[in-house]
Chain A
Amino acid sequence: MTTNMSGAAAPDREMTGAEMVIEALADQGVQHIFGYPGGAVLPIYDAIFQQQMVQHILVRHEQGAVHAAEGYARSTGKVGCVLVTSGPGATNAVTGLTDALCDSIPIVVITGQVPTHLIGNDAFQECDTVGITRPCTKHNYLVKSIDDLPRVLHEAFHIASSGRPGPVVVDIPKDVQFAKGTYSKPTSFPHQGYRPQLKGDPSRIKQAVELMARAKRPLFYTGGGVINSGPRASTLLREFVKLTGFPITSTLMGLGAVQASDPQWLGMLGMHGTWEANWSMHDCDLMICIGARFDDRITGRLDAFSPGSTKIHVDIDPSSINKNVKVDVPIIGDCANVLEDMLALWRSSKAQPDKKALGDWWKQIDKWRAKKSLSYKNSSTIIKPQYAIQRLYELTKDRDTYITTEVGQHQMWAAQFYGFQEPNRWMTSGGLGTMGYGLPAAIGVQRAHPQSLVIDIAGEASVLMNMQEMSTAVQHRLSIKVFILNNQYMGMVRQWQELLHGGRYAESYTHSLPDFVKLAEAYHAVGIRCERPGDLDGAIKEMIDVDQPVLFDCVVDQNENCFPMIPSGRAHNEMLLGDSGESVDEAITEEGKMLV
């Protein structure tokens, strides 16, 4: 029994670099790693083969591995892990890395590299991985010595997951994978240069709470920072919203932090946000921004953005403060910590909202709500995409459901019509807008939650970008449901061409689409096609009941546009509704057309 001693206080052990990678992953609590083998990572794959601690999920393209790790991370709050080879393996991961950087998703990507003596020699499958990934990672490392490897691996996890989360690359040359060295366990290392500020400044918090108690037309504007901070932040936010009685809106990234069924919830804001959310942003006198970053999709025209409001901005990243919009009370810190302190102060100071003013504010908001800006004309003969999402929501809301999306109209409709009740249930590419994100992300989510219902709400164009990952889903028995709103167009491109480019649909129509049912069958998955509104419920139920990956080809109205919409160059109070008299063409000036 003497060997048991090593379990408690394991002495540092001799092993190869490849074995260290596995050991470090296990010590960091990693159970799953997404990857694709190749020459420069073979020693690590050999080590994977000889252990049981970390399970490898073989993808079909490295981009898919990174998105799967992102889905895994976003649905669990843990760090997602990827293993790819040098050269093309690393370059294929770049889109995923950039996506994770834009949306602040914690992932660690381990890349193989050619042996150190060949670096710089244009060796086979060599690329300057740290050079290429420097601007699209939070941090990256090239490990040239086995002595640095354990420290770097542990540091990578710490950096990926702490502060504002993000992707970290560890590039390991093949000779370092073979080299023998001494492995050491993770320690709480004091990194000189990297110390994120997690607690908010008490004097600023006091200032914020005082402003809130005095506000006449207050509004919470929250974002992905609340989700990233962990479920505690959402719980505290809900408590605070309830306690104050203030209205709340959020960005695309922040959906689920408060319940969509909450009467104080105004819906998403921004370019395709609701009438009430955007008008409230425009007219509020106090904006309480928590974990959002005043992105251009949110603010619209900057010089007309919420002109009369005092702005409080809570963010863990100091560089988000005053980047686009000047704020009055910046508070640097983790959302959960700051919310906790604000809430405590609100209670201990017995602060009361201005009930009379708040009542008037809600009356005004209710007028905006009465516009019913998300309404659309339904049809009994053709499936409207909005209707499809509504039915999907109704038939899945009582289940343990996770939603991922691709990018485009379907993504916006999902955000508008699927009522998210909990955080970490909504995985979408917000910042980078990566078509092809949703299917591999769903694989990652399903891997983390094998018993849950995981649905990728997709467009037929986006989903083809990473369709090969259906093979991954089938191999690993991950019963993801890909719900394709098939309008045969790149819908958002088509919408902009209709509204801005005289209806000249340059290259946005997809000829020669595959038969998605046959395609599913070719992957040994299940295909379902639905063309009529009357058949939709039955078909969705069938999809849910199948214990296999499903491609659901939902044939929808080809010409439906996504409204409401703030046209380019316009402000929040100038948004258009689907049935507004003003045509979008008139609303957008020549200068406006220049904008994305």
Chain B
Amino acid sequence: MSATSHYPAAPVAEKIETHTLSVIVDNEPGVLARVIGLFSGRGYNIDSLTVSETEHEKHLSRITIVTRGTPMVIEQIKNQLDRLVPIHRVVDMTLAGPSIQRELAMVKVRGTGEPRVEALRLADAFRARVIDAGTESFIFEITGASEKIEQFIALMLPLGLVEVSRTGVVAIARGAEAM
């Protein structure tokens, strides 16, 4: 006979989905540790996490988390987040309607001659700005959806990519309404 578990069976057949969550929290010491501790303690994934104060007078910060899991796990993540006392709201941007997601990357490319010219040409095509330039290197600033940045980095790789720094994803819902 098949023996499984006294513990919940692993969700083998269910589809893994990627969701972006916007979380409004009190800007107080330890709040990020609570969120991260929840994810590590319960074995959830974090693909990307950004945090910054967004409403200074109300001491509110906004955390944007990109996470992966089965629909049941995603539901758990949202409910577990909502349970934390300093968390005001959790909105699943993936389900809440159309939203815009952006991240910013700074990309350092080293090279001379033709590769250097090619890098500059591509940067122009991607609307990346040059924010630092030397005779042997550029630093590009690029903003866009994660896929666009991935694509740009892939193109820079053979042209002398040295270093990348990325902010992670921030998201906002389209339209006139606040979350």
A residues with CB within 8 A of B: 130-131, 134-135, 138-139, 142, 159, 191-194, 271, 296-297, 299-303, 317-319, 321-324, 326, 568-570, 588-592, 595-596
Complex formed: what's the CA distance from A297 to B8 in Å? 11
> In chain B, what residue has the closest Cβ to A295?
B6
Determine whether the beta carbon of A302 is less than 8 Å from that of B9. yes
Complex formed: what's the CA distance from A191 to B79 in Å? 18
**0/1 interface trace, chain B 116-139, chain A, CB 8 Å (1 if under):** 000000000000000000000000
Determine whether the beta carbon of A569 is less than 8 Å from that of B6. yes
Restricting to B38-53, which residues have a CB under 8 Å from any CB of A? 41
User: Which residues of chain A come closer than 8 Å to B5, judged between CB atoms?
Assistant: 296, 301-302, 568-569, 595
Restricting to B73-102, which residues have a CB under 8 Å from any CB of A? 75-76, 79-80, 82-88
> In chain B, what residue has the closest Cβ to A301?
B4
User: Which residues of chain A come closer than 8 Å to B176, judged between CB atoms?
Assistant: none
Determine whether the beta carbon of A194 is less than 8 Å from that of B75. no
User: Which 10 interchain pairs have the tightest Cβ spacing?
Assistant: A569-B3, A319-B79, A589-B3, A591-B3, A592-B3, A139-B85, A193-B88, A296-B6, A324-B8, A318-B79
Determine whether the beta carbon of A595 is less than 8 Å from that of B41. no
> In chain B, what residue has the closest Cβ to A587?
B1
Which residue of the partner chain, among A134, A321, A324, A591, contacts B79 with CB atoms under 8 Å?
A321
Determine whether the beta carbon of A322 is less than 8 Å from that of B6. no
Given contacts A193-B85, A319-B83, A321-B79, contact A589 B6 (CB under 8 A): no
Complex formed: what's the CA distance from A316 to B88 in Å? 18
User: Would you give 25 A-B contacts (Cβ < 8 Å), ordered by A?
Assistant: A131-B33, A134-B33, A134-B37, A135-B37, A138-B85, A139-B84, A159-B85, A192-B88, A193-B26, A193-B85, A194-B85, A296-B7, A299-B6, A299-B8, A301-B4, A302-B9, A317-B79, A318-B83, A322-B72, A322-B76, A323-B76, A569-B4, A569-B5, A595-B7, A596-B6
**0/1 interface trace, chain B 134-150, chain A, CB 8 Å (1 if under):** 00000000000000000
B166 CB–A CB distance under 8 Å: no
Q: Which of B26, B72, B76, B85 has the most CB of A within 10 A?
A: B85
B30 CB–A CB distance under 8 Å: yes
Determine whether the beta carbon of B75 is less than 8 Å from that of A322. yes
User: Which residues of chain B come closer than 8 Å to A592, judged between CB atoms?
Assistant: 3
Given contacts A142-B30, A299-B8, A568-B5, 9 further A-B contacts (CB under 8 A): A139-B85, A193-B25, A301-B4, A302-B7, A322-B75, A323-B8, A569-B3, A595-B6, A596-B6
Determine whether the beta carbon of A192 is less than 8 Å from that of B26. yes
Q: How close is A298's CB to chain B, nearest CB, in angstroms?
A: 9
Determine whether the beta carbon of A301 is less than 8 Å from that of B6. yes
Given contacts A193-B25, A321-B79, contact A588 B85 (CB under 8 A): no
Complex formed: what's the CA distance from A465 to B79 in Å? 36
Complex formed: what's the CA distance from A588 to B4 in Å? 11
Q: How close is B44's CB to chain A, nearest CB, in angstroms?
A: 12
Given contacts A135-B41, A142-B29, A589-B1, contact A568 B79 (CB under 8 A): no
Q: Which of A142, A192, A569, A588 has the most CB of B within 10 A?
A: A192
Q: Which of A319, A568, A591 has the most CB of B within 10 A?
A: A319
Determine whether the beta carbon of A297 is less than 8 Å from that of B6. yes
Determine whether the beta carbon of A130 is less than 8 Å from that of B6. no
> In chain B, what residue has the closest Cβ to A590?
B3
Determine whether the beta carbon of A319 is less than 8 Å from that of B80. yes
Determine whether the beta carbon of A568 is less than 8 Å from that of B75. no
Given contacts A303-B9, A318-B79, A319-B79, contact A591 B4 (CB under 8 A): yes
**0/1 interface trace, chain B 1-43, chain A, CB 8 Å (1 if under):** 1011111110000000000000001100110011001000100
User: Which residues of chain B come closer than 8 Å to A193, judged between CB atoms?
Assistant: 25-26, 84-88
> In chain B, what residue has the closest Cβ to A298?
B6
> In chain A, what residue has the closest Cβ to B5?
A595
User: Which residues of chain B come closer than 8 Å to A319, judged between CB atoms?
Assistant: 76, 79-80, 82-83
Q: How close is B8's CB to chain A, nearest CB, in angstroms?
A: 5
User: Which residues of chain B come closer than 8 Å to A569, judged between CB atoms?
Assistant: 3-6
> In chain B, what residue has the closest Cβ to A138?
B85
> In chain A, what residue has the closest Cβ to B86?
A193
Complex formed: what's the CA distance from A135 to B35 in Å? 10
Complex formed: what's the CA distance from A271 to B79 in Å? 28
Complex formed: what's the CA distance from A192 to B84 in Å? 12
Q: How close is B124's CB to chain A, nearest CB, in angstroms?
A: 46
Q: How close is A575's CB to chain B, nearest CB, in angstroms?
A: 13
> In chain A, what residue has the closest Cβ to B82?
A318
User: Which residues of chain B come closer than 8 Å to A324, judged between CB atoms?
Assistant: 8
Determine whether the beta carbon of B72 is less than 8 Å from that of A317. no
Complex formed: what's the CA distance from A139 to B1 in Å? 44
User: Which residues of chain B come closer than 8 Å to A326, judged between CB atoms?
Assistant: 72
Complex formed: what's the CA distance from A591 to B9 in Å? 13
Determine whether the beta carbon of A134 is less than 8 Å from that of B30. yes
Determine whether the beta carbon of B3 is less than 8 Å from that of A588. yes
> In chain B, what residue has the closest Cβ to A302?
B9
Complex formed: what's the CA distance from A131 to B37 in Å? 10
Q: How close is A576's CB to chain B, nearest CB, in angstroms?
A: 14
Complex formed: what's the CA distance from A592 to B30 in Å? 40
Determine whether the beta carbon of A303 is less than 8 Å from that of B83. no
Complex formed: what's the CA distance from A300 to B84 in Å? 29
Determine whether the beta carbon of A317 is less than 8 Å from that of B83. yes
User: Which residues of chain B come closer than 8 Å to A300, judged between CB atoms?
Assistant: 6
Q: How close is B27's CB to chain A, nearest CB, in angstroms?
A: 12
User: Which residues of chain A come closer than 8 Å to B30, judged between CB atoms?
Assistant: 130, 134, 142
User: Which residues of chain A come closer than 8 Å to B34, judged between CB atoms?
Assistant: 134
User: Which residues of chain B come closer than 8 Å to A323, judged between CB atoms?
Assistant: 8, 76
User: Which residues of chain B come closer than 8 Å to A322, judged between CB atoms?
Assistant: 72, 75-76
Complex formed: what's the CA distance from A302 to B29 in Å? 40
Complex formed: what's the CA distance from A323 to B85 in Å? 20
Complex formed: what's the CA distance from A349 to B72 in Å? 35
Determine whether the beta carbon of A568 is less than 8 Å from that of B6. yes
User: Which residues of chain A come closer than 8 Å to B25, judged between CB atoms?
Assistant: 193
> In chain B, what residue has the closest Cβ to A321?
B79
Q: How close is B126's CB to chain A, nearest CB, in angstroms?
A: 40
User: Which residues of chain B come closer than 8 Å to A191, judged between CB atoms?
Assistant: 85
Q: How close is B54's CB to chain A, nearest CB, in angstroms?
A: 14
Restricting to B53-67, which residues have a CB under 8 Å from any CB of A? none
User: Which residues of chain B come closer than 8 Å to A318, judged between CB atoms?
Assistant: 79, 82-83
Q: How close is B39's CB to chain A, nearest CB, in angstroms?
A: 11
User: Which residues of chain A come closer than 8 Å to B82, judged between CB atoms?
Assistant: 318-319
Q: How close is B6's CB to chain A, nearest CB, in angstroms?
A: 4
Complex formed: what's the CA distance from A240 to B3 in Å? 38
Determine whether the beta carbon of A302 is less than 8 Å from that of B8. yes
User: Which residues of chain A come closer than 8 Å to B9, judged between CB atoms?
Assistant: 302-303
Complex formed: what's the CA distance from A159 to B72 in Å? 27
Q: Which of A193, A301, A324, A590 has the most CB of B within 10 A?
A: A193
> In chain B, what residue has the closest Cβ to A304?
B4
> In chain B, what residue has the closest Cβ to A144?
B29
User: Which residues of chain A come closer than 8 Å to B83, judged between CB atoms?
Assistant: 317-319
Q: How close is A236's CB to chain B, nearest CB, in angstroms?
A: 26
Q: How close is B24's CB to chain A, nearest CB, in angstroms?
A: 8
User: Which residues of chain B come closer than 8 Å to A570, judged between CB atoms?
Assistant: 3
Complex formed: what's the CA distance from A197 to B20 in Å? 25
